[in-house]
A = this chain, B = another copy of it.
Amino acid sequence: MATLNDVAQRANVSKMTVSRTINHPEQVRPELRSAISQVMRDLNYQPNAAARALVSRCTRVIKLTIFEDMDTTEPYYMMLLAGIANELNRHQYALQLATRNSYEVGECDGYILTGIRDEDYAWVKQLQQPVVFFGRNLKGYDYVDTDNYQAIRDSTMYALHRGYTRLIFIGIAADKPFELDREQGFRELMAEKHLPAEVVRLANHGHVATKYIDEHWATMTPNTAFICASDRLAIGIEDGILLHGGRVPEDFGVIGFDGMLLNQVASKRLTTMKQPLEAMGQAAAKLLLTKINQPQPEQTKVIVKSKLSIAESTR
């Protein structure tokens, strides 16, 4: 691998002039600059990242630490990764992936954290570098999230507008902030409309939702819409309805949440509240880079809007 010195010798200048053509080109005479650039190309010169990191005290590495077990991880993380990776790339930062088991390996200039549990905050607290969370947190750290509350309000409102008169919220049986926000969005809108808020909480699996419909089919009345907290649940609900001969979307509407890949497997294309995960990844990366360059004193919250993607499971 060619070094700064190799380039300097070939171009008959000192190392510093070469270094400057890279980092402060305006300080170098144009002729020299282009000559040096040519030599760099000839030698396929790539600056040594380690040497740079050593002297500049910054690694140009951002770590994404996923605290959840990856095997329970929603597939949509891939889109998040894509958003983060692309934004970092634009600024010549590398993305490093860490898990609960590997968070200490290697150095970085900043962290994006997701899936964190209470017991992990001690570790977060002692980090020297800036931190951005993916998903809301209540400890005062910066974060990027969707407005889960508003998203469910929008879904619910849409269902009402389409003329469904009975609404059932199918939530995820977990005490996570995102789930509570979604539930609250549903309850409050229903209260405002003076309608009863029927809320069910299920494990986040399609067949659990199907079973729920199965067991409660007798009580199901046409003109009902199911506002679901995930696409998996929505697909399970839809399957259950169809198996009992119910008509979707004429008599029963189904609205999902997430909108990544799973809705491609539904027999009807699912109406779903689409989380802009790639945009969220990008936003997280952007926020972190900003913080690295100019530390912000107070908490920054970036809320990205979800958008209803209307398809065949609602009329």
B88–A102 CB distance below 8 A: yes
The distance in angstroms between the C-alpha atoms of A98 and B216, with both chains bound, is 48
Within 8 A of B (CB), among A83-142: 85-86, 88-89, 92-99, 101-102, 104-107, 128
- How many chain A residues touch the partner (CB < 8 A)? 64
> With an 8 A cutoff between CB atoms, is A310 at the interface?
no
| Residue numbers in B under 8 Å from A88 (CB-CB) | 102, 105
| Residue numbers in B under 8 Å from A59 (CB-CB) | 49-50
| Residue numbers in B under 8 Å from A264 (CB-CB) | 205-207, 232
> With an 8 A cutoff between CB atoms, is A34 at the interface?
no
> With an 8 A cutoff between CB atoms, is A16 at the interface?
no
A96–B99 CB distance below 8 A: no
Which of these, B60, B96, B102, B205, contacts A97 with CB under 8 Å? B96
> With an 8 A cutoff between CB atoms, is A61 at the interface?
yes
A99–B77 CB distance below 8 A: no
Which of these, B78, B128, B239, contacts A73 with CB under 8 Å? B78
Which of these, B49, B61, B236, B268, contacts A267 with CB under 8 Å? B236
> With an 8 A cutoff between CB atoms, is A172 at the interface?
no
Nearest B residue (CB) for A204: B264
The distance in angstroms between the C-alpha atoms of A74 and B174, with both chains bound, is 26
> With an 8 A cutoff between CB atoms, is A200 at the interface?
no
In the complex with contacts A236-B267, A264-B205, A267-B240, A82-B99 CB distance below 8 A: yes
Over the window 167-209 of chain A, the binary record of Cβ atoms lying under 8 Å from chain B Cβ atoms (1 yes, 0 no) is 0000000000000000000000000000000000000011100
B267–A265 CB distance below 8 A: no
| Residue numbers in B under 8 Å from A265 (CB-CB) | 205-206, 231-232, 235-236, 262, 265-266
| Residue numbers in B under 8 Å from A165 (CB-CB) | none
Chain A to chain B: the 4 pairs with minimum beta-carbon distance, closest first = A75-B75, A70-B82, A89-B102, A50-B53
- For this complex, 21 residue pairs linking A to B, each with C-beta atoms less than 8 Å apart, are A46-B104, A48-B54, A50-B50, A50-B107, A71-B278, A73-B78, A75-B78, A82-B99, A85-B99, A86-B102, A88-B102, A89-B99, A95-B96, A95-B97, A96-B97, A206-B266, A207-B269, A232-B265, A239-B242, A239-B266, A261-B262
